[in-house]
A = this chain, B = another copy of it.
Amino acid sequence: MALQKETPRLVLASSSASRKAVLEAAGLRFEAVPAAVDEAAIKEACLAEAIPPEDAAIMLAEAKAERVACRMPEALVIGGDQLLVCRMEDGRDRWFDKPADLAAARAQLLALRGRMHRLISGTVAWRGGERVWQDVTVSRLTMRGFSEAFLDAYLAVEGEAVLSSVGAYRLEALGVQLFSKVEGEHSAILGMPLMPLLRFLRGHGVLME
């Protein structure tokens, strides 16, 4: 007996290697289809209108899922996004983006050093032209007060691999040495919260109960 039904076909509206790896490890069969969405423009609009990051994460996930779902109405399309938000010394929340280069990654890690930040994961499922599910999961990570010498050594070892993450770290690799505290489910931190997603897939008849 198969753990996953043949239909509906499951589609991940993403080209993120990390999200794919999370779903593959959990034993899901799916197809990954990149969604051409202008994430920067959506984020900018959300910031301009002071939309809470939880809502923005859902809007971003929704944009990706919808884009792919329009072309595949029979599929169950999963979209996901993750925002990194950190309260800075001025008391205001700052949203972080994937760093463009190693200098930006260094500046970002120094800004996050010694602070707790939130990873806000928005996940949305579309099927038959409409949204059938959504979830927001928040993880809390605290960076320790590492030295600049450590940071330079860290960036020298990791190299451009850090540019693939919104936080400029890979928690599943050397990035774990940046932290003093990690609160949240591992798959959510990697970009795809499995506990709520698997629950939805069982309720939706995709996975065995």
Contacts and interface: CB of A to CB of B under 8 A. Distances in A.
A174 interface: yes
Given A2-B153, A150-B3, A186-B186, A174 B209 contact: no
Interface residues of A, number: 34
- List the number of copies, as a whole number: 2
A146 B209 contact: yes
Interface in A14-29: 25-27
Interface string A113-143: 0000000000000000000000000000000
B154 A3 contact: yes
A104 interface: no
5 contacts: A3-B154, A25-B173, A150-B209, A177-B207, A182-B186
